[in-house]
Structure 1
Amino acid sequence: MEPLHLGVDAGNSKTVALLCDEDGRVVGYGRSGNGDIYGAESSSAAVDAVVAAVKEALTAAGAREADVRASAFRLAGVDWPEDHAYWMDALARRLPGLHAPSVLNDGFAAIRCGGPAGAEPAAGEAGRRDYGAGVAVIAGTGSAVAGRGPTGTEWSMSFWIQDAHGASGLVGSALRAVYRAELDLGPATTLTARLLAFFGATDVEALLHSFTGRETGHGWARQAAAAREVVAAAGDGDEVAATLVRDQGRHLADYARVTARRVGFAVDAVPVDGGSGGNGADGGAGVPVVLAGPVLCAPGSPVTAALLDALSRVFPAARPRLATVPPVSGAVLDALADAGVDLGPAVYERLRTTAPPPAFLAT
């Protein structure tokens, strides 16, 4: 069998694994549950989920671990050095046939998802390896922001993120607004009626109890699903909901700027051509900022609009683009790059056209 390349994207809602050949053709995929060592029932349960997704992908491809030339694991919960060490040990024990897997936070998965035109080598660096430089901003159930600089420096916001983002964060903020309104500590909002109906609660106290009672709860996925109610309320002119949306966009823009600066990009230089290429270090064509995840990639997303508006003000060097492939494809692109494969447009197109059906990636 020709060499295969493995990408894994693990979060709180799901873990997905993708196998492709050197041309970017998907040959197998697998899915399982929560792969976050901080968010799963236990760290061992997260490992079980990741291993299950990988083995399902291998089985679908009729392949063995030894057939995998390079693998990239992009996992929620790889936040500290001990987390990385934990995963390296777990993968060595559970998937011993994989050679030198790459393990990073799931935020890194989307850096290559905006297309093949990323940051070009800086002056004097022609011929260096493809680092896949840029910044990724992901908003799904939760959020992640990570960056890779023009010389390969990597950094993730991780626990430096001090605001709840993504769909679950948006709903969490909306719930707090509803509770404050009920206590006459905040303005009235149509979010009250919307969230009561969505969660099947008779009044605000019942809603609060359903989230905080000892034997009640809704889970991350259910909470995140209510984000559409917040977005709809904002679209209908509810100022409380609109403020929550604007705040999320502003915070994500701030975090993108911080991340870019941390990995070596110049964040204040205005792109001179507004087009592709450039490493942003000399005021060239800017810093690639890939926006990924269902919250940001949904058609007409007001969070994306708020983020783009904020980026134009706080991060003028940013060159934002929507992801053209899902984060798990970005992980497998990292594996391909690690193996020395040229990531041209044809590879992206094959990944896109041979990708699993949309239902496979749905939360």
Structure 2
Amino acid sequence: MNALYLGIDAGNSKTAALVSDATGTIAGAGRSGCGDIYGAVSPEAAVAEVLAAIDAALAQAGASRADVAWAAFRLAGVDWQEDRTYWEKALAGRFPSRSIRNDGYAAIRCGEPSGVGVAVAAGTAAAIAARGPDGTLWDMGWWGQHAMGALGLAIEAFRAVNLAELGLGRETALTTALPAHYDLSSVAELNHWFTRREGAATQTQKAGCARVVTAAATAGDPVAVEIVQAQGRHLATYAGVAARRTGLTAAGGPVSVVLSGSVLMADASPVAEAMLAELPARIPGAVPHRSTLPPVAGATLDALDEGGISLTEAVLDRLAGTLPPKTFLET
């Protein structure tokens, strides 16, 4: 069999893997559960999920692990050197030719094929990563001091309705909208469900109200507007840090900033609008790009590039044209 190239995007909501040949043709796809060593029930469970997605993709391609010429692992939870070391040991005997990085890097090539630029992904959580012109890398990891993504919106909305209920905050349409979203009758019931010792809402369930927050902001609720604008500022601010740390702003030229993730890619996203309004102040010369591919496709392009395959227009077009259906990658 011809050499294959493997891209993996592992997060908390899912892990996805794609297998491509040297022409960019996707030959197999697989998905599984949480591949984040911080978010899974154990690090070993995260490894098992990542390998399950890979094996499903290889089986669909009629291939084996031995056929993989290069694998690009883009994994949530690769935040410190010991995290990378853990994965290096876990994968050493399985995929000898590989790179292991935080999942934030997967999105860069989804809007900037050169792989040089900043990626700002806001899905359930947020991941920000950058690659400079000389190859310098930086990702936000645990440096982020603000809750961002859908979960960040949920946390701030939850705080706002509780303060309003106590008479310590402004009235907001979220007071009725949030409980209604979860088929609850009051803020008190919402507070109980979010915080009780047994049977409490999961992080994913909490994040599920993000669209309620953005809808309230779009409708003009002042509290929701403030939450959304703060989220946009935070995302732009950390993107600016990433650009500076990797030398992207040093030359004074254009800087590609790739937006991805459900919060930023939603139609008429007020979070994206807020971020884009703040971006020029944080990254002079910023050129925003909406992601045209799912993050796992960006990881696959990394695998091809790192494996010595030139990312020509033909390769990019073939990969985009042979991706699995959108429903395959939906959370």
Residue by residue over 1:233-286, the C-alpha shift from the partner in whole angstroms, topping out at 9 and shown as x without a partner, is 0011101111111111100100001011101122xxxxxxxxxxxxxx4333x1
Higher alpha-carbon deviation: 153-162 or 221-230 = 221-230
Is there any run of 5+ residues in structure 1 with no aligned partner, and where? 119-131, 267-280
Contact 1:115 1:348 in 2 (8 A): no
Q: TM-score, normalised by structure 1?
A: 0.89
- Structure-2 residue corresponding to 1:278: none
CA root-mean-square deviation:
1.1
CA apart distance, 1:222: 2.0
Task: Name the residue aligned to 2:52.
Answer: 52
**1:225, 1:344 → 2: CA distance?**
39
Q: Which residue of 2 aligns with 1:37?
A: 37
Partner in structure 2 of residue 350 of structure 1: 318
The range that moved more, 214-223 or 333-342, is: 214-223
Code of the aligned partner of 1:288 = S
Conserved? CA contact 1:139–1:296, under 8 Å: yes
- 1:215, distance to aligned residue in structure 2 (A): 0.8
Amino acid at match of 1:70: W
What is the match of residue 278 of structure 2? 310
* Aligned residue among 279, 282, 296 for 2:251: 282
TM-score scaled to structure 2, two decimals?
0.97
Correspondence for 2:157 among 165, 171, 174: 174
| 1:18 Cα offset (Å) | 0.6
**Residue 112 of structure 1 corresponds to which residue in structure 2?**
109
Consecutive aligned runs of 4 or more in structure 1 exceeding 6 Å deviation:
none
Cα distance between partner residues in 1 of 2:158 and 2:319? 39
Q: Distance in 1 between matches of 2:322 and 2:209?
A: 31
Residue number in structure 1 paired with 2:244: 261
1:236 aligns with 2:198: no
1:301-320 residue CA offsets vs partner (Å, 9 max, x unmatched): 11111110000222222111
Determine the C-alpha separation between the residues in 1 that align with 2:153 and 2:316: 32
CA distance in 2, matches of 1:218, 1:57: 32
Cα deviation per residue 1:305-350 (whole Å; 9 max; x = unaligned)? 1110000222222111111101100001100000111112222222
Identity score, percent: 54
2: distance between equivalents of 1:258 and 1:210?
37
**Cα contact 2:125–2:148 (8 A) shared by 1:** yes
Matched, 1:324 2:321: no
Aligned positions, number: 331
Q: Which of 294, 314, 317 is the equivalent residue of 2:262?
A: 294
Q: Does 1:13 align with 2:20?
A: no
* Cα 1:97–1:45 shift into 2, 3 Å: closer
Check the 8 A contact 1:154/1:263 in 2, yes or no: yes
* 3-state SS of 1:360 partner: helix
1:71 paired residue number: 71
CA contact (8 A) 2:194 2:206 kept: no
Which range is displaced more, 211-220 or 35-44?
A: 211-220
Q: Would you say 1:208 and 2:191 are equivalent positions?
A: yes
2:330 paired residue number: 362
- 1:262 maps to a residue whose letter is R
| Alpha-carbon distance in structure 1 between the residues aligned to 2:6 and 2:271 | 32
Deviations 1:61-113 (CA, angstroms, capped at 9, x unpaired): 11011111110000000000000000011112xxx342221100000111111
CA distance in 1, matches of 2:12, 2:4: 27
Distance of 1:134 and 1:231 partners within structure 2:
27
**1:146 aligned to 2:124?**
no
* Aligned residue type for 2:90: A
The one-letter code of the counterpart of 2:297 is S
Contact 1:105–1:156 (CA<8 Å) still a contact in 2?
A: yes
Q: CA contact under 8 A between 2:252 and 2:284: conserved in structure 1?
A: no
In the TM superposition, what is the alpha-carbon distance from 1:204 to its structure 2 partner? Answer: 1.1
- 2:306 aligned partner: 338
**DSSP 3-state at the match of 1:111:** helix
Counterpart AA for 2:312: G
* Pairing 1:25–2:6 present: no
- Who is 1:191 aligned against? 174
